[in-house]
Each structure stands twice: as structure tokens, then as C-alpha cells.
Amino acid sequence: MNTKSTIPFYIQWPLLLVGFYVLISMLSIGQTILLPLIYASLLAVLISPLVNYLEKGK
């Protein structure tokens, strides 16, 4: 059985816009927490080969 329920256009777009607004608001509020986490994970990935090389040298 094919029961496809579609949301009307005039409801779909405002919900999408509100969702984008909430996402951007949450990102701007959480910027003080998210940015250091992103930088730390990037630094950990970049330093990983050096750490592996130095651990092999033991």
C-alpha cells in the first residue's frame, strides 16, 4: 500500500526556515564551546603521525 502523506508547501517552507534559524542560533550560542573542541580535534589529528613516530623510537 502506498500511503504517502505530503506536507503542503505553505507549511513546509516556514518550518524549514524556522529550523535553519534555530540551528544558526544554537551554533552562535554554543560557539564558545564548539570552537575549542573543533580546534582540539583538528590538532590531535594533525599531531597523531608525529606521536606514532616518536612512540616507535622508544
15 CB-near residues (< 8 Å, 6+ apart) = 7
Q: Per DSSP, which regions of 1-58 are E strands?
A: none
CA distance linking residue 30 with residue 15, whole number of Å:
22
CA distance linking residue 3 with residue 22, whole number of Å:
31
pTM score, two decimals?
0.52
pLDDT band at residue 11, thresholds of 50, 70 and 90? confident
Q: In this predicted model, what pLDDT tens digit does every residue of 15-46 receive, in sequence order?
A: 999 999 999 999 898 888 888 999 999 999 99
